[in-house]
Amino acid sequence: MARVDLYNPSEEHLALRDMVRQFAEKEVWPQAQAHDRDERFNRALFRKAGDLGLLGITVPERWGGAGMDAVAATIVHEELSAADPGFCLAYLAHAMLFVNNFMVNADDGLRRRVLPKVVSGQWIAGMAMTEPHAGTDALAMKTTARRDGDEYVLNGAKMWITNGAVSDSELGDCFLVYARTGAAKGKALSSFLLEKGMAGFRLGQRIKDKLGMRASPTAELVFEDCRVPVANRIGEEGESSLHMMRNLEIERLTLAAMSLGIARKCIDIMNQYATERHAFGQSIRNFGQIQRYLGDSYAEYMAGRAYVYATAAAMSDLRHAGNRLDSDGVKLYCSTMAKNVADRAIQVLGGYGYVGEYHVERLWRDAKLLEIGGGTLEAHQKNIAADLRRVVTLR
């Protein structure tokens, strides 16, 4: 077992990493190739993650969770992604985008009713923010929620929703949905708990034939005069822009952690292959170009890993935003780093890297999504430049 350090700052973190790595190697890795090929979500495996206490990793123990911090969430995402980034993305949408956000912002009545189901994995959850014509510009969303007595009436559609469909025809179980409740662009958004079976709430198209993350189900959600009780509103009306921005920090941190897992697995594979493969009478790791691929990949991975875990350690209070600069920074750096490392791994393996047997082509395809989802590279660059305007000197 590794020593306690930046990446495992306590014995509890160390035990968590050991447990999740064993789960990833024994149960997640063996199923990854088949579920990617079939574009199929592994619900049974998801329930096992619930049995291990992973689905409520940041939920306080009194609410049935593990009561752990941002470093713990980072560890889980790095380890799961090293085995199957598609499965890990479904996990992130459930545990971070829904469960963490819901825990922080919902009232106790909703917590008592919903948390036991999502922490156990009985319900599969997601978050619905992106729309067909509103992605990075989330505040331009058009889905509306009109108050009508003790209910809201929702109309609109959400697109690219992870865990939107757990099969070709079946919705996920519950979603945190953002909708416009006012005219002003900034303070006009509210969020609601929507549950499968509500009248007017239906599955649109199941999005298939994706480049990567194929084991992570993606779908369109449609709201047609969908009536939602006022009791299902998360927080006060009009305050959900803050909910959204606050949760983006842990989302981007854990997406960066997914990048670490991809890069680490690719380095392991190409390192082993470079020793075993011989050409011109010697191991190919003796050739300078292969050494460059290995050396650059390792150094970039370790730089990213240090940045990610330092940022996680600084994110002590998940209830408050405060470090957009580095949550954007780690995802900006690590997402491209993982894609580049996976690309080098394919190059080192040559023809073998181009086929599924050696896994690196799947990891390369999965890595590309991390430069787009949860904020594009361009959005991170814009945010970092804006935040640096307020920084006099770097310390």
Give the list of residues 6+ apart from residue 255 with CB closer than 8 angstroms, or none. 77, 92, 331, 335, 370, 373, 374
CB 361 within 8 A of CB 346: yes
Give the SS3 label for residue 198. coil
* Among candidate residues 149, 225, 235, the one with its CA nearest the CA of residue 192: 235
Angstrom distance (rounded) from CA 284 to CA 352: 14
- State the helix-helix crossing angle for 70-83 and 85-92, rounded to 10 degrees: 150
CA distance 334 to 261: 10
The Cα 142–Cα 145 span in angstroms is 10
End-to-end CA distance of the chain: 34
Tokens of 57: 């990793």
Q: Across-strand partners of 207? A: 218
SS3 assignment, position 286? helix
d(CA 190, CA 346): 45
- Active-site residue, 251 included: yes
Q: Judge contact between 192 and 128, C-beta under 8 A.
A: no
Return left, alpha or beta for 156; rule: phi > 0 is left, psi -120 to 50 is alpha, else beta. Answer: left
- Whether the CB-CB separation of 255 and 92 falls below 8 Å is answered with yes
The alpha-carbon radius of gyration of the chain (Å, integer) is 21
Whole-angstrom distance, CA of residue 362 vs CA of residue 21: 20
Catalytic residue from among 251, 300, 361, 371: 251
Active site residues: 251
